[in-house]
Amino acid sequence: MHPLALPLLLALATAPTPPPAPPAAPACEAAEHHQFDFWLGEWSVVGQKVGKVVDHSRITSAVAGCVIVEQWTGLGGNTSQSLNLYNRNLGKWEQFWVDSQGNRLQLQGTLRDGAMVLETPPLPDGTFPRRHDRITWSVDANGRVRQLWEVSVDGGEWATQFDGLYTRVVGGGATE
């Protein structure tokens, strides 16, 4: 036997057993992770201001139910995509949105009185950036989803950026 083998074998035999691995993080099965599921589906979106279909949106669940993905296509050819998730460390929903024009938006928020309300998060000093966005999604009695996007600049009044009514698309046509 090699002269170093015996001390090595003794060290291994008397070494403490490693602690058990920490439990895996819980899967995205808690109710909070499904608060935004009302938005899942294929949608035709009517702009409230123009009174006609302005885009199509496909909202799907991904990453084992941990992420809601929106794929938006405007009738003019612009596209956007958003990733939405419940951040259990913050206890809030987050949205990361980008469009084909290079615009981006990051929002945070919660479900309030049955509506999902996400807005520009405050800066580290607690103030808000010059432009403050707030988007509210709410479901009406017919199962349609209203998306109201409002903007406040320099803490001024809220102005509507977009007001759309999402109607489910079934079999190639919109339903009421």
Q: What is the pTM (predicted TM-score) of this model? A: 0.81
Domains and CATH numbers, the chain: 24-174 (2.40.128.20)
Query: What pLDDT does residue 58 have?
Result: 97
Q: How far apart are CA 10 and CA 169, in angstroms?
A: 70
Query: What pLDDT does residue 19 have?
Result: 77
Q: How far apart are CA 26 and CA 175, in angstroms?
A: 37
Q: How many CA atoms lie within 13 A of 174 on its CB side?
A: 17
CA neighbor of 108 nearest in space, from 90, 124, 126 = 90
Query: What pLDDT does residue 128 have?
Result: 86
Q: Which two tokens stand for residue 136?
A: 């509210």
Q: What pLDDT tens digit does each residue of the chain (176 aa) get?
A: 666 666 655 666 666 777 776 666 668 999 999 999 999 999 999 998 888 999 999 999 999 999 999 999 998 899 999 999 999 999 999 999 999 999 999 999 999 999 999 999 988 898 888 999 999 999 999 999 999 999 999 989 999 999 999 999 986 544 44
Query: What pLDDT does residue 111 have?
Result: 97
Instruction: Give the phi and the psi of residue 39 in degrees, each rounded to 5.
Output: -90, -10
Q: How far apart are CA 157 and CA 151, in angstroms?
A: 8
